[in-house]
Structure 1
Amino acid sequence: MAALAASLLCSIQFAFAQDDAPDNIKAAYSEGGRYYTEDDIPTYNVGEDGSVDWLTYSGFRRYHSECHVCHGPEGEGSTYAPALKKSAIDMDYYDFIDVVTNGRRQVNASQNSVMPAFGTNPNVMCYLDDIYVYLKARGTGAVARGRPSKKEAKSDAIREAENLCLGD
């Protein structure tokens, strides 16, 4: 009964979030198992039954293997690094890619923060859109904390792109 209630709540939150979502969130089309906004920016999709698209599920896994050590579980932030769950909504997609790829250093009188560059780490770079999409879903509340319980199957197109990126 609790699982049904959680699934229904997730569906209601998603429907509300998608209807009122800014243009950088709302899925306008899908291609090869990936979802995109009207501006061709990757985004998430949560089905009526609560199942998430493959990239969101994969993003959860990749985020927790590479990013949560500094940025905390589920993009919530930590005392060491800021929360990222809103970054994928507020930050331009290409700026997000730039920061993850090249890193960033912000030094001033009140802070000294360093984001290392991950541009040579295939466990991040081959899954950068996955991480971005997952953080968008977390930032809007479309995906709750924890591993998504239902997911779409991994498409052949996603599998092929992953194999090409990883050199398999």
Structure 2
Amino acid sequence: MTRLASALPRALAALALLASAATAQDAEKADNITAASNEDGRYYTADGVPTYNIAPDGTVDWLTYSGFRRYHSECHVCHGPEGEGSSYAPALKNSAIAMDYYDFVDVVTNGRKKVNAAQNSVMPSFGQNSNVMCYLDDIYVYLKARGTGAVPRGRPAKKEAKSDAIRQAEADCLGQ
């Protein structure tokens, strides 16, 4: 009995340590949202993935606002308004949260085809469409904000000003 009694506290301590490590990993994995840096109006997570930033008064960053506009000009026809999905294509607001950013970029750029007995899903390639590719981060952060519920349906009411760096990157991408 003394052996068991002495082993029990060590086992409980080990379980607590494992639970603590798992919680830290879950928190790290789950936090692909929080803006850790701002570079000329572009917000990034700690690992450099584009994200949104919303001020306490509801003002959204420029990319989120632009993403709303670009999504509704290019993506909503298949994926439904505000990233909600449709009978034709999935809810991209969920994809922006569940899918790795680089996988998201790959699918939009190169397209994807999943056709088998269980599904028939075809996403065309938008790699040559400058109206998508020049604004891909904008669309992604907008969908991420929608997916977390940080931005409600509809056009964001308040937005940050467009920075000179964003304006120049847009002009460069569009060849202007």
TM-score of the superposed pair, with normalisation by structure 2: 0.83
Q: Which residue of 2 aligns with 1:76?
A: 84
Residue 123, structure 1, aligned to residue 125, structure 2: no
Secondary structure of the corresponding residue to residue 85 of structure 1 = helix
Which residue of 44, 50, 58 corresponds with 1:36?
44
Amino acid at match of 1:69: V
Q: 1:11-38 CA distances to partner (integer Å, 9 max, x unpaired)? A: xxxxxxxx99932111001001000000
**In the TM superposition, what is the alpha-carbon distance from 1:86 to its structure 2 partner?**
1.2
- Where do residues 45-60 of structure 1 align in structure 2 (5 Å cutoff)? 45-60=53-68
Amino acid at match of 1:64: H
Residue 85, structure 1, aligned to residue 85, structure 2: no
Q: Which residue of 2 aligns with 1:23?
A: 31
- Distance, in Å, in 2 between the alignment partners of 1:88 and 1:82 is 11
Q: Which residue of 2 aligns with 1:150?
A: 158
- Distance, in Å, in 2 between the alignment partners of 1:163 and 1:58 is 14
- Distance, in Å, in 1 between the alignment partners of 2:83 and 2:122 is 17
Normalized per residue, the structure richer in helix is 2
Residue 64, structure 1, aligned to residue 110, structure 2: no
Unaligned runs of 5+ in 2: 1-26
- Distance, in Å, in 1 between the alignment partners of 2:115 and 2:88 is 15
Unaligned runs of 5+ in 1: 1-18
Secondary structure of the corresponding residue to residue 30 of structure 2 = coil
Q: CA RMSD in A?
A: 1.5
Q: 1:66-95 CA distances to partner (integer Å, 9 max, x unpaired)? A: 000000000000011011101111101100
- Distance, in Å, in 1 between the alignment partners of 2:130 and 2:49 is 21
Q: Percent identity?
A: 79
**In the TM superposition, what is the alpha-carbon distance from 1:167 to its structure 2 partner?**
0.2
Task: Name the larger-Rg structure.
Answer: 2
Report the number of matched residues.
150
Which runs of structure 1 show a deviation greater than 4 angstroms over 4 or more consecutive aligned residues? none
Amino acid at match of 1:63: Y
- Distance, in Å, in 2 between the alignment partners of 1:125 and 1:76 is 21
Q: Greater RCO between the two (CA within 8 Å, min separation 6)?
A: 1
- Distance, in Å, in 1 between the alignment partners of 2:120 and 2:135 is 28
